[in-house]
Chain A
């Protein structure tokens, strides 16, 4: 045992305490940094070099700083990623449903149901005054307003579809960028790990990116033994070690195509990727064709169905009547071929002379057929009933989606809170540890002074007997 070993012990204590204070400073400095996980100094006591000397057993050699621990929990991190993926999926769907529902403007004065009702009452007014050109003009105008409203409704759904399509592409770009950065961080973390340094800040940054990727794509992450994070989408690696792959969306760019929008790896001949959670999966399910349950394509198909049903029922009844000149009635609505029915619908008659107001043979000023036309509004298989059904179904679906989104959000918040309760920095705790390390530093300095004084006695005052 060296004479000066006490000085060494005190020096190691001073160094450890200073490190501890530095670390408390780092924790306090980053308490609001997103993704930051609190860190703690890992120390151990240094054992004495020899078990015993001729003066008996000796004390240890001080304290050794072994490392800086990152107080995160990989299980909680994984849970946050899973719940974020579910929440992203349902919130993307719910947002689309809510927006589609708002575009209906039902029930209200601007909704389609009211426009339909107004067409039927206009026919009734015309039935009361078959000789009035004003009443006839009102029927034609009401018809045209209704046609414009149906086309507007269809267009707003088509616009929403296109913006969701753009959003899908943007999401894929975000995923690709984040995956590339995770691969780079993986490389850095592995290098630091091999060199024995602390990669805590890199891991924090990587976890934050992994959360983003999970929320967007539903990717599942695993931490490998070399410290790298592997992210898998649909069972295939998006990020593996230092390598990241890229995703790509392909498919139609407008709602009318009826083809699904497909997610695939950006590699020639790669098979499609099936995603079932994450915002991207939610957006893709919103973009799906009507027969696969896509809410937007379904609503667009409903507009087309309404336009066809309106044209078929009104035209059938209109043809049964006769015009003022006694000629049989023609079509009231025309549906242009080669376009969606909702956009191709138009009103044929221009005025009273072309409207089949009368029942055949009942006289020039009969209003029988106009009355029958106004009765279409009450039919249980008529356009009004069809539209009311569309509104109800969308309302129920939207309500269900919003409920699921809210529940998924609650779960995600709970998971994030659990993660934060382990990883978050607490000011009081850091103050305590700052205080403790400060006291430890003072004590170590006192130890140093004590050893110094003892040595002073030994060196400067020994052998001065009787002087």
Chain B
């Protein structure tokens, strides 16, 4: 059946088509101005689910970047403190060697060496209690200073300060004070104290050189490990920077519009709408009345 066409049906269908053209135009305009590919999850459920995951991954990655920055400060602080300690210990070794040359020294000269060694011991203790933002970097997870006046190590045995640098990767950012400086009677402070006592008591300090060398080796060993961790953190930093770029690229591919594509679609939809308006204006005008007199 050929359906009957009246001016009313013509007007209504024209109105309907104009409306649908306008709503397409509005959708494209919304996309072009908001730069978002979808306004609600239901526009593209799969993309919305992926976008949620990507947002969470981006938040995590930003956090890892912060953790890495914090970890690097820790590792650098530890490294600097150990470097300062090894040079102090080198100076202590020189002084001990001079003190061991007992034949050439009188009591005053030995006292001068003892006094300087005492200063070095104090400086070493200060290095061992180096703090970062109020936390002692050699004390591990314990509160307060790493070493007290009795040179006992205050840290919790086996405890480590770690920073999460990636989803499945944590890095230790501190160094055990006991490993670097020794603890109690075995500590480098007690060792220098004994050398000072020996010098003042007139005893031979030649035997102490080996002990100083042992401690020096221990310190250098820990410094090597700290350096390796610093490398690991730097690699994680590069990885996090790469991940930032690639996550943003993935997010943009899902959430952001292809501007050129949307603009072309917008332009063609505009053309469709305008021609619909022009055609409607022509078709709707004439009636039989115009031709009757």
- Contact surface of A with B, Cβ cutoff 8 Å: 31-32, 97-98, 101-102, 104, 106-107, 113-114, 116-118, 120-121, 124-125, 127-131, 358, 361-368, 371, 374, 377-378, 384, 388, 391-392, 394-396, 398-399, 402, 413, 417-418, 420-422, 424-429, 431-432, 435
* B9 at interface by CB-CB < 8 Å: yes
Contact with A along B19-56 (1 / 0, CB 8 A): 00000000000000000000011110100110111011
How many angstroms between the C-alpha atoms of A97 and B133 in the bound complex?
52
Of chain B, the residue at the smallest CB distance from A401 is: B42
The reply to whether B62 and A363 contact each other, CB–CB distance below 8 Å, is no
Residues A101 and B40 in contact in the complex (CB < 8 Å), given A424-B6, A427-B287: yes
* B106 at interface by CB-CB < 8 Å: no
The reply to whether A399 and B42 contact each other, CB–CB distance below 8 Å, is yes
The reply to whether B49 and A420 contact each other, CB–CB distance below 8 Å, is no
Say which one of B163-171, B201-209, B214-222 lies at the interface with A: B163-171
Q: Nearest Cβ distance between residue A78 and chain B, in whole angstroms? A: 17
Residues A431 and B9 in contact in the complex (CB < 8 Å), given A117-B59, A129-B133: no
Chain B residues positioned under 8 Å from A422 (CB to CB): 3-4
Q: Nearest Cβ distance between residue B184 and chain A, in whole angstroms? A: 19
The reply to whether A364 and B141 contact each other, CB–CB distance below 8 Å, is yes
Chain B residues positioned under 8 Å from A391 (CB to CB): 41, 48-49, 52
The reply to whether B3 and A421 contact each other, CB–CB distance below 8 Å, is yes
Residues A128 and B49 in contact in the complex (CB < 8 Å), given A106-B41, A420-B9: no
Question: How many pairs, one residue from A and one from B, have CB atoms within 8 Å of each other in the complex?
Answer: 163
Of chain B, the residue at the smallest CB distance from A421 is: B3
Our pick among A107, A361, A396, A431 for the contact of B287 (Cβ within 8 Å) is: A431
How many angstroms between the C-alpha atoms of A387 and B8 in the bound complex?
50
The reply to whether A426 and B134 contact each other, CB–CB distance below 8 Å, is no
The reply to whether A395 and B41 contact each other, CB–CB distance below 8 Å, is yes
Q: Nearest Cβ distance between residue A114 and chain B, in whole angstroms? A: 6
* B5 at interface by CB-CB < 8 Å: yes
Chain A residues positioned under 8 Å from B140 (CB to CB): 363, 365
The reply to whether A424 and B55 contact each other, CB–CB distance below 8 Å, is no
The reply to whether B7 and A114 contact each other, CB–CB distance below 8 Å, is no
* B260 at interface by CB-CB < 8 Å: no
Of chain B, the residue at the smallest CB distance from A399 is: B42
Say which one of B63-71, B121-129, B231-239, B263-271 lies at the interface with A: B63-71
Sort A-B residue pairs by CB-CB distance and give the 5 closest, nearest first: A363-B141, A395-B41, A426-B6, A398-B42, A395-B45
Tier of interface size on chain B:
35 or more
Residues A417 and B52 in contact in the complex (CB < 8 Å), given A363-B156, A422-B4, A427-B289: no
Of chain B, the residue at the smallest CB distance from A432 is: B288
Residues A98 and B42 in contact in the complex (CB < 8 Å), given A420-B9, A427-B287: yes
Residues A106 and B52 in contact in the complex (CB < 8 Å), given A125-B63, A128-B163: yes
How many angstroms between the C-alpha atoms of A79 and B43 in the bound complex?
31
* B292 at interface by CB-CB < 8 Å: yes
Residues A427 and B41 in contact in the complex (CB < 8 Å), given A113-B55, A117-B60, A121-B62: no
- Contact surface of B with A, Cβ cutoff 8 Å: 3-9, 12-13, 16, 40-43, 45, 48-49, 51-53, 55-56, 59-60, 62-63, 66-67, 70, 133-135, 140-143, 155-156, 159, 161-164, 167, 170, 255, 287-289, 292
The reply to whether A117 and B55 contact each other, CB–CB distance below 8 Å, is yes
Give 14 A-B contacts (CB < 8 Å), ordered by A residue. A106-B41, A106-B48, A113-B55, A113-B56, A128-B70, A366-B161, A392-B49, A394-B41, A398-B41, A399-B42, A402-B42, A420-B12, A427-B7, A431-B292
Our pick among A127, A362, A402, A424 for the contact of B164 (Cβ within 8 Å) is: A127
The reply to whether B42 and A128 contact each other, CB–CB distance below 8 Å, is no
Of chain B, the residue at the smallest CB distance from A398 is: B42
Chain B residues positioned under 8 Å from A431 (CB to CB): 287-289, 292
Chain B residues positioned under 8 Å from A363 (CB to CB): 140-143, 155-156, 159
How many angstroms between the C-alpha atoms of A124 and B292 in the bound complex?
85
Chain A residues positioned under 8 Å from B289 (CB to CB): 427, 431
Chain A residues positioned under 8 Å from B170 (CB to CB): 371
The reply to whether A128 and B67 contact each other, CB–CB distance below 8 Å, is yes
Of chain A, the residue at the smallest CB distance from B143 is: A364
Taking A424-B4, A425-B8 as given, write out 15 further A-B residue pairs in contact, using a Cβ cutoff of 8 Å, ordered by the A residue number.
A97-B42, A107-B51, A124-B164, A363-B141, A363-B142, A363-B143, A364-B142, A366-B156, A395-B45, A398-B42, A417-B9, A424-B6, A426-B4, A427-B289, A428-B7
Our pick among B42, B56, B66, B159 for the contact of A377 (Cβ within 8 Å) is: B56
How many angstroms between the C-alpha atoms of A343 and B87 in the bound complex?
62
The reply to whether B48 and A124 contact each other, CB–CB distance below 8 Å, is no
The reply to whether B156 and A361 contact each other, CB–CB distance below 8 Å, is yes
The reply to whether A392 and B48 contact each other, CB–CB distance below 8 Å, is yes
How many angstroms between the C-alpha atoms of A384 and B135 in the bound complex?
34
Chain B residues positioned under 8 Å from A364 (CB to CB): 141-143
Q: Nearest Cβ distance between residue B137 and chain A, in whole angstroms? A: 11
How many angstroms between the C-alpha atoms of A364 and B135 in the bound complex?
12
How many angstroms between the C-alpha atoms of A118 and B63 in the bound complex?
10
Residues A371 and B164 in contact in the complex (CB < 8 Å), given A114-B55, A362-B141: yes
The reply to whether B156 and A362 contact each other, CB–CB distance below 8 Å, is yes
Of chain A, the residue at the smallest CB distance from B286 is: A428
Of chain A, the residue at the smallest CB distance from B16 is: A413
How many angstroms between the C-alpha atoms of A391 and B51 in the bound complex?
11
The reply to whether B12 and A417 contact each other, CB–CB distance below 8 Å, is yes
Q: Nearest Cβ distance between residue B240 and chain A, in whole angstroms? A: 13
The reply to whether A117 and B141 contact each other, CB–CB distance below 8 Å, is no
How many angstroms between the C-alpha atoms of A413 and B19 in the bound complex?
13
The reply to whether B135 and A131 contact each other, CB–CB distance below 8 Å, is yes
Residues A31 and B8 in contact in the complex (CB < 8 Å), given A362-B159, A363-B159: yes
Chain A residues positioned under 8 Å from B133 (CB to CB): 129
Chain A residues positioned under 8 Å from B159 (CB to CB): 362-363, 366
Chain A residues positioned under 8 Å from B9 (CB to CB): 417, 420-421, 424
Chain B residues positioned under 8 Å from A107 (CB to CB): 41, 48, 51-52, 55, 255
Of chain B, the residue at the smallest CB distance from A365 is: B141
Q: Nearest Cβ distance between residue A421 and chain B, in whole angstroms? A: 4
Chain B residues positioned under 8 Å from A392 (CB to CB): 41, 45, 48-49
Of chain B, the residue at the smallest CB distance from A31 is: B8
Chain A residues positioned under 8 Å from B7 (CB to CB): 426-428
How many angstroms between the C-alpha atoms of A368 and B156 in the bound complex?
14
The reply to whether B53 and A388 contact each other, CB–CB distance below 8 Å, is yes
Our pick among B16, B51, B66, B287 for the contact of A428 (Cβ within 8 Å) is: B287
Of chain A, the residue at the smallest CB distance from B53 is: A388
Of chain B, the residue at the smallest CB distance from A361 is: B156
The reply to whether A424 and B8 contact each other, CB–CB distance below 8 Å, is yes
How many angstroms between the C-alpha atoms of A435 and B142 in the bound complex?
107
Chain B residues positioned under 8 Å from A424 (CB to CB): 4, 6, 8-9
How many angstroms between the C-alpha atoms of A364 and B161 in the bound complex?
11
Our pick among B12, B134, B143, B167 for the contact of A378 (Cβ within 8 Å) is: B167
Chain A residues positioned under 8 Å from B56 (CB to CB): 113, 116-117, 377, 384
